[in-house]
Structure 1
Amino acid sequence: MEDYIEINRAGLTKLDNGRHYEYHNNVYDLLHEVDATKIGVPVEKITQYKGGIDVEGQINRESQASLDTQRMQKADEARGRLLSYLFGMIRTNRFSPEAAEAAAAAADELEIVIRPYYGIQKIDVDQESAAIDGLLIDLREAKNTPFLTTLRLTAILPKLEAANADFRKIYKTRTSARADDKELPSAKAARAKTDAVFDRIVFILQAAYYSGASPIERTLIASIVKQINQRTQEIFDKYNQSLAKKKAAKKPKDPTDPKQPKEPKQPKDPKDPKQPKEPKEPKKPDGEKPKDPKKPDEGGKKPEKPGGGDGDPDIHLPEE
């Protein structure tokens, strides 16, 4: 026999309210079925554990009442559609220019019957249920049978009656669930309390197993622990499967492989820039290049003065 036992209780906070309740309820059944003195857990502690589980169950039923409200709305819509069809067929045959004379006459007769019930789809649901009962009683009078047959409306009456009964059944279930609900804590607080009591029971089981003092039966404790761990494995397998399905449902479908973008073209190496040409010398207007300026005479000669070659300053007058 093993010297040590371990109860797998990790991950309980991950479970939804329904699975959390079912898990602890199964553990309670294992504890409740055996003699508490042989496993070392006080009866009062097991009773406290059961009390917390029951509170979780009440909270879950309150959520169920909300679901009943949704079902009740759908049932009310179903009977409303049947009423609209019945009233519409009678009204159409009264005013349609294509309706046969017998059909128009039958519609006139039935319109007198249904006239007090126009608009019952919009009144309070309890009043609507009673009004539908009255409408069915009036339409089922023997004098109206041939008119219903002429307009082919005989089959609509049992359908309307069934829809009305379905609505009443759901309404009653919801009322019963609400009556049972008391002032309850939040689901989070209730779960935390249940988990705390469970942790205490686990500690007591482990301590009792270690001591083994009479009347403790270690084999019985080991069997209970094995079943608890098996139940833990099963419920978390289902939890993981459910989680995987939800993720798969949210995952978008794989799009077709997009075309790979082409690699951008590498820019061409820029050509060597041309060297600018040297500017040409400016030309004279006649197209000749300018001559080099004269240099002064070698030997230090002075340039000749205008008007003479020898530089004589005398002025000669022309002869008469």
Structure 2
Amino acid sequence: MGTYTKIKPAGLTKLNNAEYTNFMNAFYRLAFAAGGGGGDSESPDEISLDNNPLGITDAQKAAFEKDQVLMTDLVNQSHISDETAQLLDLDKQRDDLVVYLTSSVSQMRKNPIEAQRAAAQTVYNIIKPYIGIYKSANQQETAQIQGLLLDLDKEGVPALIQTLGLKEIQDSLRAANDEYAKLTAQRTGNKAASIKEASAAVRLRMDDLYDDMTTIAFVQSVAAPTAETTRFVNELNALIDETTALYNQRVGAAKAAAKRKE
């Protein structure tokens, strides 16, 4: 066993974006706690150890902070995508169609023509649980409209819809809801791909900065050991252990859940 405490491998590549960001935020707090700020020079040979016990430069700190903000934004952001305007339009269309369909059936129960009045009463009993679904949250509304359309497709009901003259409304509602579901899935996929691509570039830069800063800090802990360099190395190793344990816990829980479903 060597005399010097080395910084453990962090295994950053295996972490998801949230875990990675949490780790880097914690690393930043350790590296730039009291006494751990950067120096005025970008050259390690010119670093003043009195002001910078870890040897990290201002340039490295600034670059890390910039990517730290970007990474946090990528984890938390909610993209407004190209599909959003189409989704808003489709949502309004299906809301209007649902309201027209349910209100028309309700009114037709008073129709003086017996065949239509009877058809309206039967269909009303089917759609009654769905009245007001246009007020539901978007994804919930999508599922509820699908349920409504399935009920209206059941044996004998399509003929009643024809009698009421609402077949075109039903078809339009189906088309709008199907397109809404399709665009929602597409937007989700596009968002995930966009975040993955952007975060990959940011993580590469942060990985390089992390490697540089931890290497410099370790060298300082060997060449000019202080209480600050010892604290940093020990606390960073503790952070790495904690992050690894939480990662293993998450992966283990996911595997156990998948096994239960088999």
TM-score normalised over the length of structure 2 = 0.52
Kindly indicate whether residue 102 of structure 2 is the aligned counterpart of residue 94 of structure 1.
no
C-alpha distance 253-185 of structure 1, shift in aligned 2 (>3 A): closer
TM-score normalised over the length of structure 1 = 0.43
In 1, Cα distance between equivalents of 2:137 and 2:203: 39
Counterpart of 2:79?
Answer: 65
- Give the superposition deviation at 1:246: 2.1
Q: How big is the alpha-carbon RMSD for the aligned residues of Structure 1 and Structure 2?
A: 4.4
Kindly indicate whether residue 242 of structure 2 is the aligned counterpart of residue 234 of structure 1.
yes
In 2, Cα distance between equivalents of 1:242 and 1:81: 40
Alignment of 1:45-194 (within 5 A): 45-61=60-76, 64-65=78-79, 83-96=96-109, 160=135, 186-194=198-206
- SS at 2:53 equivalent: helix
Contact 2:53/2:220, CA 8 A, preserved across alignment: no
- Give the superposition deviation at 1:53: 2.4
In 2, Cα distance between equivalents of 1:156 and 1:59: 36
Kindly indicate whether residue 258 of structure 2 is the aligned counterpart of residue 250 of structure 1.
yes
Structure (1 or 2) with the larger CA radius of gyration = 1
C-alpha distance 81-245 of structure 1, shift in aligned 2 (>3 A): farther
In 2, Cα distance between equivalents of 1:24 and 1:80: 45
Q: How many residue pairs end up in the alignment?
A: 175
Alignment of 1:292-311 (within 5 A): none
C-alpha distance 80-3 of structure 1, shift in aligned 2 (>3 A): farther
Structure 1 segments unaligned to the other structure (5+ residues):
105-151, 165-183, 255-320
Contact 2:60/2:209, CA 8 A, preserved across alignment: yes
Kindly indicate whether residue 209 of structure 2 is the aligned counterpart of residue 197 of structure 1.
yes
Structure 2 segments unaligned to the other structure (5+ residues):
38-51, 118-127, 139-195
Counterpart of 2:124?
Answer: none
In 1, Cα distance between equivalents of 2:13 and 2:132: 51
1:251-298 CA-partner distances (Å, limit 9, x unpaired) = 3667xxxxxxxxxxxxxxxxxxxxxxxxxxxxxxxxxxxxxxxxxxxx
Contact 1:40/1:204, CA 8 A, preserved across alignment: yes
Identity %: 19
C-alpha distance 186-86 of structure 1, shift in aligned 2 (>3 A): closer
Contact 2:217/2:229, CA 8 A, preserved across alignment: yes
C-alpha distance 90-221 of structure 1, shift in aligned 2 (>3 A): same
Counterpart of 1:23?
Answer: 23
Contact 2:15/2:247, CA 8 A, preserved across alignment: yes
